[in-house]
Chains A and B, each alone.
Chain A
Amino acid sequence: MTALPVATQAPFTHHGSTGAMVRLSLINLLLNVVTLSLWRFWGKTRVRRMLWGGTSAWGDPAEYTGRGGELFLGFIVVMVAIFTPIVVAMGAAQAAMAAGHVWAGLIVFALQVAIIVLAGAGLYRARRYQLTRTIWRGIRGGQSGEAWRYGVMMIVVGFATGLTLGWAWPWAEMTLTRYRMENTTFGDTTFDCDARAKPLYKRFVVLWLAGLVFLAGISAAFGAGVYYFKDLEEGSAAFFGFIAALYAGGALWALLTLGVPLAWYRAGFLRHLAAHTRFAGISFAIEATTGSLIKLTLGNILISILSLGILRPWTAQRVFRYACAHLRTSGEPDWQTVCQAPESRSRMGEGMAAVFDGAGEF
């Protein structure tokens, strides 16, 4: 890649209010209770509309044009055409296996592979759905590439990661991320990405070794815990104190030995990814730091847990806010050259695509 101008401009802002998002979350909770949770498709749509609408680039806010009905329809299609047949087939294959038929094991394995591929394909379709319903200055986003291919890629890199005891992880993650990025379009213009995994291995070695330290500590604590634990009377104050200390100590230990190295690795990953992404002649950078990522993630975990998941939209808003505050560009593209993508699909085809694209979305 040729030398790029330094990315120092900050054209992205998030101006959505936390109070409005919390209010929306609570209204959605109420409506979900009343509708046995079927409201969630419409609730999610309203959350996205607020997130997108609160995000501006070069002074103009984005729009989310997705509809709850589309998500609901996609959900029904997946439920009837994919989920239920798989569950029935899986149940029958497991029953056959329990009855002593060895061939059924192969079917179970094949179904497990199919489930992972379908899940990957579903994620990719969901991303396409969101991008095609993202509009800025009247121009639609989009995603090329094939969902099936992404699903197959996901299972291949997943196997590689397992077989190499995790060492393939940066490569796996970067391969999938690059595929997504290279296939992201805005109007008729595609993002370019030539980020590679190799520069990440310096940080990954530290993360992998930290993982070993984490496991060693947990095993030692478990051994010691079992030794002391057996003398405690069940239900006594000492018993509960011991359990609480175990959880608190475990969480602190995980934060120190896993959380900090992971945030450090993640900061490196995001910086590398942003620095090797281009769009319409401009380059990007992200000023992600270990400390700010820990603050973001820890806050989001606490919000999710303490609100029992009800305030998750707030955590999404915090991610949007973080991205807008830390993302930089080298300049402004010549927007005259970024045109609306020609509509190649017929009306009917678009309707069908909308159904299947929404299919991964629930």
Chain B
Amino acid sequence: MVALPGRFNDGRTAASRKVMVSPSAAGLDIRGEDGLLVAFWRIDDLRADGELPDGGVRLRCLADPDARLSMTQAEFVRPLLPPPPRFPWSKAVAALIGTAGLLAALWLGIPAASRWLGDMVPRSWENAWGDALVSGLEKQWGACGQPAGDAALRLLVDRLSTGLEPSQRPRRVLVVRQRDINAIALPGGTVMVFSGLLKDARDPGELAGVLAHEFTHLRLRHPVAAMIRATGVGVAVTLITGDSSGVVATAAAMGLAGAYSREDEAAADTGGVAVLRSAGLDARGMASFFRRLGEKSGMVPVWLSTHPDSLARAEAVEALDGPAAAPPLNGEQWQALKGICGAEKAKP
């Protein structure tokens, strides 16, 4: 029987003692320099515990987990050790499924939680920050106002509000000097119509369609939910990736914000048609507006955009539309509203 030199730590003190180790098929017979038995490690309990810098191996024993045996001449011992564990495929698959499940839960959970939290925000709070936001934007862009145009806008807003509960009506609708073809619903019940959109609109029905869409955003409290959602996405991504620089979180928040807001937009389209119809109007203007929007852009892929594909929206709106109705404003009122910003003074 060969006897190999080794260093033994009994796991009770940090002292190291020189031993002679005799490997056999039954296990390792470990004796002190005096020849007395120090320990016998059964072959089934034997585990590799690490490589030593001098090429040796460190061993441990399941029956005495704190003890260690270091051997420089390891060639007789290595064949006795159990093979290194195989790659844990089942664990890896479980981890992948778990990750996918977690992501799915977040994907579905974040919008639901944001809606729930958004509903809990008191109206007075929402109005206070919404108004602060609106006055900032108003100062930056400049609001439009002319008596005849204001009157026409009020007429249109009142007409659209007939189908809404008093608490769900917008608190303020204004036109701001911005060239983009857009309108936004802000926290606190404010709708801003950009002068670019007003200029682009062909008839009062188109503007009515856009307003009905924005009013539905407000009724469903989308602006608050979207703010909370954006925060939630940022937090979730930071949590998963541990990236505190915010680079990944911002990118993901933008990507997901688009995906989530497309759902909001679809809901606002459907609700907008209902608003129009309860006001005794048709949704033909809404559909024609989307159709024109789709012909203009159409370059940005849907999954990157915050809004669904415009042509698809137009078709969805047409499917919900009822019989044709009279336009909400007469020609004179419509011209007054179109001229609310005065002649071509829109800021770049």
| A99 in contact with B99 given A87-B235, A139-B13, A336-B13 (CB within 8 Å) | no
Contacts of B132 on A, CB cut-off 8 Å?
Answer: 98
Q: Is A95 within 8 A of B9, CB to CB?
A: no
A98 to B126, CA, bound (A): 9
Task: State how many residues of chain A have any CB contact under 8 Å with chain B.
Answer: 38
Does A357 make an interface contact (CB < 8 A)?
no
Q: A88 to B51, alpha carbons, bound, how many Å? A: 48
Residues of A within 8 A of B53 (CB): 15, 54, 56, 61
Interface residues of B in 223-274 (CB under 8 A from A): 228, 231, 235, 239-243
| A99 near B125: Cβ-Cβ < 8 Å | yes
User: Is B11 in contact with A138, judged by CB distance below 8 angstroms?
Assistant: yes
CB distance from B213 to the nearest CB of A (A): 26
Residues of B within 8 A of A83 (CB): 235, 239
Q: Kindly supply a per-residue 1/0 record for chain B positions 126-157, scoring 1 wherever the CB is within 8 Å of any chain A CB and 0 otherwise.
A: 10110010000000000000000000000000
Q: Which of A36-44, A255-263, A286-294, A345-353 interfaces with chain B?
A: A36-44
Asked if A63 lies at the interface with its beta carbon under 8 angstroms from chain B, I say: yes
Q: A95 contacts B14, CB within 8 Å?
A: no
Closest Cβ of chain A to B265, distance in Å, is 25
Q: Which of B7-28 contact A (CB under 8 A)?
A: 7, 9-16
In the complex the two chains form, what is the Cα distance from A54 to B51 in whole Å? Answer: 10
Q: Decide if B240 touches A335 in the complex (CB within 8 Å).
A: no
A101 nearest in chain B by CB position: B125
Q: Is the CB of B99 within 8 A of A60?
A: no
B342 near A: Cβ within 8 Å?
Answer: no
Contact of A38 among B66, B99, B117, B243 (CB under 8 A): B99
Are B13 and A95 neighbours in the complex by a CB distance under 8 Å? no
Asked if A84 is at the interface (CB within 8 A of a chain B CB), the reply is yes
Complex CA–CA separation, A350 to B122 (angstroms): 45
From known contacts A37-B242, A38-B240, A362-B242, infer whether A338 and B13 are also in contact, taking CB-CB under 8 Å: yes
**Binary per-residue interface labels of chain A (70-111) against chain B in the complex, 1 for a CB within 8 Å, 0 otherwise:** 000000000100011001100100011011100000000000
A54–B53 Cα distance when bound, in Å, is: 8
Please determine whether A36 and B14 come into contact, CB atoms closer than 8 angstroms: no
Q: Across the interface, do A98 and B235 meet the contact criterion of CB distance under 8 Å?
A: no
Name the contact of B99 in the complex, choosing from A36, A88, A91, A139 (C-beta under 8 A): A36
Binary contact readout B34-72 vs A (1 if CB under 8 angstroms, 0 otherwise):
000000000000000111110000100000001110100
Collect the chain A residues with CB atoms within 8 Å of residue B240's CB: 36-38
Q: Does A307 count as interface, using CB distance less than 8 angstroms?
A: no
Q: Is the CB of B231 within 8 A of A138?
A: no
- Contact check: which of B12, B49, B121, B243 meets A340 at CB < 8 Å? B12
Pairwise interchain contact A139-B14, C-beta atoms closer than 8 A: yes
Q: Quick check: is B124 within 8 A (CB to CB) of the other chain?
A: yes
- How many A-B residue pairs have C-beta atoms within 8 angstroms? Tell me: 96
* Contact string against A for B residues 313-334, beta-carbon threshold 8 Å, 1 for contact and 0 otherwise: 0000000000000000000000
Residues of B with C-beta under 8 A to A12: none
B228 and A138 within 8 A (CB): no
Contacts of B242 in A (CB 8 A): 37, 40, 362
- Please give the number of chain B residues whose Cβ is less than 8 angstroms from any Cβ of chain A in the complex: 39
Which of B7, B231, B242, B243 is most buried by chain A, counting CB atoms within 10 A of its CB? B242
Q: Does A169 contact B (CB under 8 A)?
A: no
CB of A170 within 8 A of chain B?
no
Interface assignment of A236: CB less than 8 Å from any CB of chain B: no
- A337: Cβ under 8 A from any B Cβ: yes
Contact call A138/B50, Cβ cutoff below 8 A: no
**A35 adjacent to chain B (CB < 8 Å):** yes
Residues from chain B with a CB closer than 8 A to the CB of A60 are 7, 9, 16, 70
B53 nearest in chain A by CB position: A15
Residue of B nearest to A65 (CB): B49
Chain B, residue nearest A78 (CB): B239
| A88 proximity list for chain B (CB < 8 A) | 117
Verify B70–A37 contact, CB threshold 8 A.
Answer: no
| List of A residues within 8 angstroms of B14 by Cβ | 136-139, 186-187, 333, 335, 338-339
Interface centre among A63, A139, A336 (most CB of B within 10 A): A139
> Complex formed: what's the CA distance from A315 to B98 in Å?
33
A96 touches B70 (CB 8 A): no
In the bound complex, residues from chain A placing their C-beta under 8 Å from that of B9 are 60, 137-139
List residues of chain B with CB within 8 A of the CB of A339.
12-14
Contact among B7, B99, B117 with A35 in the assembled complex (CB-CB below 8 Å):
B99
* Chain B residues closer than 8 Å to A186, beta-carbon distance: 14
Asked if A340 and B239 make an inter-chain contact with CB atoms under 8 angstroms apart, the answer reads no
Chain A 327-361 interface 0/1 with B at a Cβ cutoff of 8 Å (1 = within): 00000010111111000000000000000000000
When A95-B121, A340-B66 are in contact, do A137 and B99 touch as well, CB less than 8 Å? no
Given A95-B125, A339-B14, 12 new contacts (CB under 8 A):
A36-B103, A38-B240, A61-B52, A87-B231, A95-B121, A95-B129, A99-B124, A99-B128, A137-B9, A137-B16, A138-B68, A139-B11
Pairs of residues from A and B, 3 with the lowest C-beta to C-beta distance, nearest first:
A99-B125, A99-B128, A335-B15
A-B contact pairs, 13 of them (CB 8 A): A37-B241, A37-B243, A38-B99, A84-B239, A87-B235, A98-B132, A99-B122, A99-B124, A335-B15, A338-B13, A338-B14, A338-B15, A339-B12
